[in-house]
Chains A and B, each alone.
Chain A
C-alpha cells in the first residue's frame, strides 16, 4: 500500500510535465506576433509605434519549442506562472482568488450530487417498478440530456428575472463590503467557510443564496448520472446470493439493504466519482459564465477568448494537479470500502 502510494505520487510530476508540454505545444500553433499582440492594450492604434520584432526577440517568442517551454517551466519552479493579460494580474494571484470560488461551488454541488443521487437511487431501486422508480427513470433521462447552459438560463429567467429570489454573482454589495473590512479574516477564500469561521451567519446566508442556483444547475446532470448508476448497481446487488442469505437469516430489510447491499453497490459510484470531478470542472466553465460567477471556469474562458496563454497554462496545471489528487484519494477510499481490493 505504501509502495503503491509512493509510486503514484512519483508519477504525478511526470503526468503534469507531459500535460503542460501538450498544452504548450498547442500554443505554438500561433505565430509569435499573435502571442505578443495579447500584451499590447490597443493593437490597432499602437501598431505604428510598437517595435514588434524587438519585443519578440527580447521575450524569446521565436525560439524553438523546447527553449520556450524550458523558460516557462523554470518560471513555474520559481513560483512564477506569468502575467495574465486578461485578468491584469499575475496568474498565481488570479488563481488564488478564483480557485476558492470554484472549489466552494464544487463542494456544494458534490454534496447535492452524491447525497441526493445515492439516497434517491437507493429509494428507486428498493421500490423497483413503483411510481417513484418510473419517475426516476424518466427524470434522470431528462436530467442527463438537459444542457447545463439551457437549464441555467431557464433558472435565471424564472428565479432571477421573474421571482427575484436568487441573485447572480458571489455576494450582495453590502456583504462584499463586510468581507473586505479588516476584521473579517479570509482564511480560505471560500465565502461560506470564512463566514462560519468569523461567526457571521448573515454572510453565510447571503453566500449560500448566491451559490444555490449555480450549484443546482451544475448538479442536475451529475445527480441524474449518479442516481442511474446507483439504481442499476443496487438492483444488480439485490439479486446476489449473499443478499438472499441475509434475508433468509431473518435480518430486517433495512439492515439487508444498508449493510449488505448498498455498501457493495456503492463501488461503481465511487469509480465514477473521479470522472465526475473532471466533468464538474468542465461544467464549472458553463455554469460560471451563465451566472456571471467569478471563478476559475469563467477565468479560463475569458483567458482563452483573449488568447491569454499564461493564464490558460497556469489554470490547466492547477486543474491537472487537482484531478490527480482527487483520483488518488478515490483509490484509497476504494480500499476502505472493499477489503478485497489491495493496491500494489
Chain B
C-alpha cells in the first residue's frame, strides 16, 4: 500500500497511471461506445460510406473517416484492444522466457550460464527491428506473426537483467542459510532467489508494454503488420500516409486521418513509460533517496 501511495504522489507517475487507466477503460467498454457492425468480427473497422476521399469529423463519425469510409473513432477505440493484446502477450511471454533462461543460467552457473549468455550475445548483435521485419516477412502478413516475431527476439534483455540480479542474490546469506538447512536447488531458486530478483524485470516489463506497441505500430507502418481496415493504430497511420501532404494551399487538410491515431499511440506508450519510471523510483531505494 505504501508503494502505491508513493506512486500516486509522484506527479509524473500519476499522469502515467491516469493515461493507462484511460486506455484500460476504453478497451473494456469498446463494444458500448463503438458497437461493431459485425459482432463476429469486431476488429474490422466500421465503414460509413465508401467514399475514396477522407471525410472530416461529423455527427456520424466524430473523428472523421479515412478513404474507403473507415470510421476513425471506431478504429481508435478497438485499436486499444489490439494494443493491449500485443503489449501484454509479448511482454508476458518474453518476460517469462528471459526470467527462466537468464535466471536458471545464472543460478546454475558454469556452462549453463555461458551458453545462455552466448545466445543472448548473438541475438544482441543484430538490430531488433530488422530481425523482426525479416522474420515476419518470412512468416507472412498479420498481427499474430508480428507478435511471434517480437517474442522470438524480445526476451534477450530480460535474460540479461535477470542474470545480473540472480548473480548477486545467490550470494546472499539467506540463500546459504537455506542451503545449510538442506533445501533442494529448485526450491531455493523458486522460493528464495526468484522472488528477490524479479522486481527489475517488472520495471522493464512495464516500460516494454508501451515500447512493444510502438514497435508493432512501426511494423504496421512499414507494411508488414495488420491489413488495411484492421483496428490497429499503426496500420491507421500507414493508411493515412497518402493524405499527409493535404491539398494545394492547405497542407493540413486531412489532419484528422493521422492526428488521432498518432495521439492514441503516443498517450498509450507515454502512459506505460511514466508508470515504469515511477515504479523504478518506488522499488529502487537508491534512486528514491535521489529523487526525494
Contacts and interface: CB of A to CB of B under 8 A. Distances in A.
Interface of A is mostly: helix
Interface of B is mostly: helix
A153 B125 CA distance: 29
Nearest to B272: A145
A278 B237 contact: no
Contacts of A161: 244-246, 251
B33 interface: no
A212 interface: no
A154 interface: yes
B135 interface: yes
A278 B127 contact: yes
Contacts of A30: 138
B17 interface: no
B12 A285 contact: no
Given A145-B210, A282-B130, A286-B129, A235 B246 contact: no
A144 B200 CA distance: 19
Contacts of B128: 278-279, 282
Given A145-B269, A153-B241, A29 B138 contact: yes
B135 A26 contact: yes
Interface in A130-146: 137-138, 141-142, 144-146
Contacts of B124: 275, 278
Interface string B227-260: 0000000100100010011100001100000100
B169 interface: no
Interface in A251-294: 275, 278-279, 281-283, 285-286, 289
A15 B12 contact: no
A75 interface: no
Interface size class for chain B?
35 or more
Interface stretch (B76-84, B98-106, B179-187, B218-226): B218-226
Given A138-B12, A147-B269, A305 B137 contact: yes
Given A18-B122, A278-B127, A286-B222, A232 B252 contact: no
A283 B129 CA distance: 8
B111 interface: no
24 contacts: A15-B125, A137-B12, A141-B270, A142-B270, A144-B273, A145-B270, A146-B266, A146-B269, A147-B217, A147-B265, A149-B217, A150-B237, A150-B258, A150-B262, A153-B237, A153-B262, A157-B252, A160-B245, A278-B125, A281-B127, A285-B129, A304-B133, A307-B137, A324-B125
Interface of A: 15, 18-19, 22-23, 26-27, 29-30, 137-138, 141-142, 144-150, 153-154, 156-157, 160-162, 232, 235-236, 239, 275, 278-279, 281-283, 285-286, 289, 300-301, 304-305, 307, 312, 316, 319-320, 323-324, 327
Which 7 pairs between the two chains have the least Cβ-Cβ distance? A282-B129, A282-B127, A161-B251, A145-B269, A145-B270, A162-B251, A281-B127
Given A283-B129, A289-B221, 13 more contacts: A18-B122, A26-B134, A141-B12, A144-B273, A145-B266, A147-B218, A148-B218, A150-B258, A157-B246, A157-B258, A301-B133, A304-B133, A305-B224
